[in-house]
Homo-oligomer: A and B are copies of this chain.
């Protein structure tokens, strides 16, 4: 992809800019020195000022939501973030892609390379299998070199990001029994999106905690696809999401039987080595474990682990902010890579603690 020229800002459009991932793109990009947001769409809020709907975004005094007129948008921007619901994204992605615009899709529509798997889990046919073939799964820790050359990046799901980063070094280095993987994830409520729904109302969520989508959550095949690719074998995992009464954050606890002799120190070494040059993955020292609060508002993934000899099990814990590393921050990271910018540009802020 082209490098952004000096003194020139990249013109960017956000399609679907009134949900939490769209709003988070606005927040993150407000601090990106090389980007200018030239359009943001929302059908429901078309005509409204961004700063009126979201008073924390006073910086965007001159930006208003507009309906998604794709042809008009084409001229307005050099790169498109799509934060639309899955299903709705299929056609829009294809349109911008066919019109030669770099696209980063935050929906699930272009993440699963096999259209049959997509149809099985999402209940919809994929109408653009040829475009799907061109999509790169946008986890920089796996696909950096492909993302550099990509015109269409499928930004990973929040749970898959946390699970894949937790398992990748173990899987790649054959440290674990691939048939024994348990992924127990806990996510903040922003993961459910911004919506009018009693189930996510304050009084139902606050002081509560529950599992949901047991055995059926749509992020399962995404995790399996990438771990299978990394291991060269077909992997099936147990994945159980839970709902935390916090705004942001995913903590994922992974269990797997060790397949070779190992202790915590030796596994940590494997992890530290693989992630040594990754700007956004921190493998914590032995005895220190992640807390979602330590990554709140940031693009970092913290990883800690322990080998339990009594049960011959490796337990790995990862923490991300679901809206940043799990969505909009990773999307900006992908943009930086696609555009040849310094990878961490706009993504260097430290966690809001407390």
**Shortest Cβ distance from A260 into chain B, in angstroms?**
18
A98 located at the interface, meaning its Cβ lies under 8 Å from any Cβ of chain B in the complex:
no
In the complex, whether A64 has a CB less than 8 A from a CB of chain B is no
| Interface presence of A20 (CB below 8 A) | yes
Q: Are A200 and B202 in contact (CB under 8 A)?
A: yes
Q: How many residues of A contact B (CB 8 A)?
A: 82
Is A284 interfacial (CB 8 A cutoff)? yes
**Bound complex: CA A245 to CA B298 (Å):** 20
Contact B206 A311 (CB under 8 A): no
- Assess whether A31 is in contact with B242, with CB atoms less than 8 Å apart: no
Tell whether, in the assembled complex, residue B354 and residue A352 are in contact, meaning their CB atoms are under 8 Å apart: no
Contact of A201 among B195, B248, B255, B348 (CB under 8 A): B195
Q: Are B206 and A289 in contact (CB under 8 A)?
A: no
A327 interface residue (CB < 8 Å to B): no
Contacts of A284 in B (CB 8 A): 55
Specify which chain B residues have a CB less than 8 angstroms from the CB of A59 in the assembled complex.
350
Q: How many angstroms between the C-alpha atoms of A249 and B244 in the bound complex?
A: 13
Asked if A209 contacts B292 (CB within 8 A), the reply is yes
Q: Is A341 an interface residue (CB 8 A)?
A: no
On chain B, the residues within 8 Å of A90 by CB distance are none
Q: Evaluate whether A31 and B348 lie within 8 angstroms (CB atoms) in the complex, with A184-B253, A311-B237, A317-B211 already known.
A: yes
A79 within 8 A of B: no
Whether A247 lies near B206 (C-beta < 8 A) is: yes
Q: Is A16 interfacial (CB-CB < 8 Å)?
A: no
User: Which residues of chain B are near A12, meaning CB under 8 Å?
Assistant: none
Q: Is the CB of B255 within 8 A of A207?
A: no
In this assembly, does A5 line the interface, its C-beta being within 8 Å of a C-beta of chain B? no
CB–CB B308/A214 < 8 A: yes
CB distance from A165 to the nearest CB of B (A): 16
Contact pick for A306, options B215, B246, B289, CB 8 Å: B215
Interface stretch, picked from A131-139, A147-155, A186-194, is A186-194
- Chain A 166-210 interface 0/1 with B at a Cβ cutoff of 8 Å (1 = within): 000000000000001010101001100011111011111111111
Additional A-B contact list (18), CB under 8 Å, known A194-B198, A207-B293, A296-B352: A23-B353, A27-B350, A31-B349, A55-B284, A55-B288, A55-B302, A56-B350, A186-B209, A190-B354, A196-B201, A201-B201, A202-B202, A202-B247, A206-B245, A209-B291, A210-B289, A211-B251, A245-B246
18 cross-chain CB contacts under 8 A: A27-B353, A55-B291, A56-B296, A56-B298, A56-B351, A182-B182, A186-B242, A189-B202, A195-B201, A200-B201, A202-B245, A206-B354, A210-B317, A211-B251, A212-B289, A214-B289, A238-B255, A297-B352
